[in-house]
Chains A and B, each alone.
Chain A
Amino acid sequence: MTADAPTHVSALEPGKLAAAPEVMPDAVAASMTSLVAPTAPGAPVAAIDRKPPSLLRRLPTSPIAMVGLALIGIWVVLAALAPFLPLDDPNRQDFLSLANPLPSAKHWLGVDIKGRDILSRLIFGARTVLTVAPFAAICAYLVGMPLGLLAGYYGGKVDLIVSRLSDIILAFPIIILYVILISQIGPSFWNIVLAVILTAGPGIGRIVRGLTLEQRHLDYVAAAQLRKESDFYVMAVELLPNCRGPLITDFCLRVGYTIITIGILGFLGLGLPPPDPDWGTMVKEGTTLISVHPHMSLFPAIAIVSLVLGFNLVADGVRELSLTD
């Protein structure tokens, strides 16, 4: 019964991790888990006799996940093909179109405040978002996952130090942390990645810690320890694959939330430096003319929502699948 509530809390929304009840007494956390998500604790035992069917292979059975994948897929394909599509240069200013910036045959989604083609900027902007967000999330996982494994597996002092440190970061309202960090170190690709690692890493660590605590006392771990496998082997080869369901869910949510965050930073004027297109910055620039030409901020806003929705739908599909494991 040493489960950790935030695992399942976050299964819905990683942003809420900032608010997750981290220092709850274990009893509270445990009983909360049983209320929130009826995961079968016996599930991994079956893994001893036969390999469980891969989550990926069962993904097509979830309509929700497929809709999500389709949304992500459209953007990935557009972003990948961007240089080959018959698009305007995203930074070219077509001053003649400024007289009538609305969608037309020449500019399908119209032009923005500086006469640049919105469709082209959206598609080239997708390249940035689809690189930064998953890359930053992976980096955050590379930092948070080992910390969580160590804390959950060894417990004691290691756990205390890791948990206390992450409690402090997680006590911050997350956007405030981003604003302070980025406004001080400046917006750039690596700084945004750094900010994501710093803000998301502790949350990931806590989830992995909770999952490790759930699994640590199961037979398959004891079997591996009896075989005198190294601690690293037990953690990386035995424990981690058995936590994949909630982790894949969390990863998708986290990518979605990182896209939101990058959008927010752009909207607040802390986006990636111009002139390269950034969706959040596009929304912000559009708002100055929103009373006359709402399309300038509407289209980038729709783009952000569609991509985030894609990741959230996939996360929801994977969550349902992993509950029926």
Chain B
Amino acid sequence: MIAFIGKRLLGLVATLLVASFLVFAVTEFSPGNVARKTLGPFAAQESVDLLYQKLHLNDSLPVRYVRWLGVLTGVIADPLQDPALKLDFKDPRGDRYFGNFGYSTLYKLPVNDVIWNRLGNTALLAGISFALIVPLSLIFGVLAGMREGSFLDRTISVFGIVATSIPEFASGVFLVAIFVVALRLLPGTSPLTTGGGGWSIASQFVLPVAVLVLYDSGYVVRMVRGSTAEVMNKPYIRTAVLKGLSFKTVVWRHAVRNAMIAPFTVILLQINFLISGVVVTEMVFAYPGFGRMLLEASLFGDIALIEAATLVALAVATTTQLLSDIGYALLNPQIRVA
């Protein structure tokens, strides 16, 4: 097991390295050189040239990638903080430390001062949604799957398809039209401040969470349903029924435990999918989160911030995948991990 985890951790680091190189390559592909993008369209040509020199932009892509890695790991000083550039980029942590993601040209702040705050907001939103998605989908999934083909099953299954057909921005529009415009019950934006409108922070979470829960639980419900229906056809369930146990006992004591193994993986992997959904949801509700920051950084061409954000998102995604694999192996005694 330890060898398995060690191997997977190595793979995780390799994935992060290759993926960050790919992102690096893509951001450099776009028209307009990095120095110009960093300084903005109104900077003087001399300062662009100076920056071009400082960043060694005429080096090849792999060389520059290795240099970026050097800044990240604290081996090399961040060239953007060089006072000779007169950019006034200062990081209180110094220009050479481990985990230096560089300087965000969009926010004019060190990336580390921007990203963690935003990530915290997003984690809060995703966490609340996740805490609702899991129990809701388990309950409805088991209810549908325990009597395959019943009216309840059909209803829940159709709901599942419909829910997965409504993208977050569409359900956002629907919910806003109903609860904000027509009923005036909830705020339409979630800036996480109480100024303007006077809506409480808690009320600002209702709609974003609802959007995420709707889209994601549709899928998980169907997953749990399929797994439960499958288990209900097993011989040991027939045995349990025939020995005179009540249907409720059969479902809760015998079926549910065995039916949970497959959805477990899928549910953990939802975290990865939540990250995707969160980008859109944050845009709908002007939520000050990680996804909106990434979109703004991409549109602006803030390379340091894009790189940092993708690395963090990928790290979260791959770590949950690893956790789900380990949990799966622990849950299911049939699996021997070599």
Interface residues of A (CB under 8 A from B): 9, 12-13, 15-16, 18-25, 27-28, 31-32, 35-38, 167-168, 171-176, 179-181, 183-186, 256, 260, 263-264, 267-269, 280, 283-284, 286-287, 290-291, 294, 297-298, 301-302, 304-305, 308-309, 312-313, 316
Contacts and interface: CB of A to CB of B under 8 A. Distances in A.
A184 B310 CA distance: 14
Given A23-B8, A24-B328, A180-B26, A35 B227 contact: yes
B126 to A, nearest CB: 11
B307 to A, nearest CB: 10
B335 A172 contact: no
A13 B299 CA distance: 29
B191 interface: no
**Chain B contact residues: helix, strand, loop or mixed:** helix
A301 B298 contact: no
12 contacts: A12-B164, A16-B219, A19-B321, A21-B324, A35-B230, A37-B230, A171-B317, A172-B314, A175-B280, A263-B169, A264-B169, A297-B173
A35 B15 contact: no
Interface stretch (B113-121, B129-137, B270-278): B270-278
B233 to A, nearest CB: 8
Contacts of B15: 167-168, 171
A283 B173 contact: yes
Given A173-B273, A176-B294, 13 more contacts: A12-B219, A27-B336, A168-B18, A171-B314, A171-B317, A172-B317, A174-B276, A176-B276, A180-B298, A260-B167, A305-B166, A312-B164, A316-B161
B236 interface: no
B82 interface: no
A180 B165 CA distance: 24
Nearest to B22: A168
Nearest to B271: A19
Contact of B19 (A23, A172, A181, A313): A172
B71 interface: no
Contacts of B270: 19
B283 interface: yes
B276 A173 contact: yes
Contacts of A176: 275-276, 279, 291, 294, 309-310, 313
Contacts of B299: 183, 269
Contacts of A25: 4, 325, 329, 335, 337-338
Interface stretch (B44-52, B93-101, B175-183): B175-183
Interface in B1-22: 4, 8, 11, 15, 18-19, 22
A308 B163 CA distance: 11
Given A36-B226, A290-B181, A309 B310 contact: no
B170 interface: yes
B188 A290 contact: yes
B109 interface: no
A283 B262 contact: no
A279 to B, nearest CB: 10
A313 B329 CA distance: 34
Given A264-B169, A308-B165, A301 B275 contact: no
A18 B317 CA distance: 10
Q: State the majority secondary structure of interface residues on A.
A: helix
Contacts of B317: 19, 171-173
Interface residues of B, number: 77
A13 B164 contact: yes
Given A25-B337, A176-B310, A298-B173, A267 B283 contact: yes
A256 B164 CA distance: 10
B26 A18 contact: no
Nearest to A12: B222
A25 B4 CA distance: 10
Contacts of A24: 265, 325, 328
A167 B18 CA distance: 11
Nearest to B231: A35
Contact of A298 (B165, B177, B279): B177
A181 B262 contact: no
A255 B143 CA distance: 30
Interface string B43-61: 0000000000000000000
Contacts of A313: 161
Interface string B302-338: 0000100110011001100100110011001011111
8 closest pairs, A vs B, by CB? A183-B298, A19-B269, A309-B165, A301-B170, A175-B276, A19-B272, A173-B275, A184-B30
Given A32-B265, A172-B317, A176-B294, A37 B226 contact: yes
A70 to B, nearest CB: 15
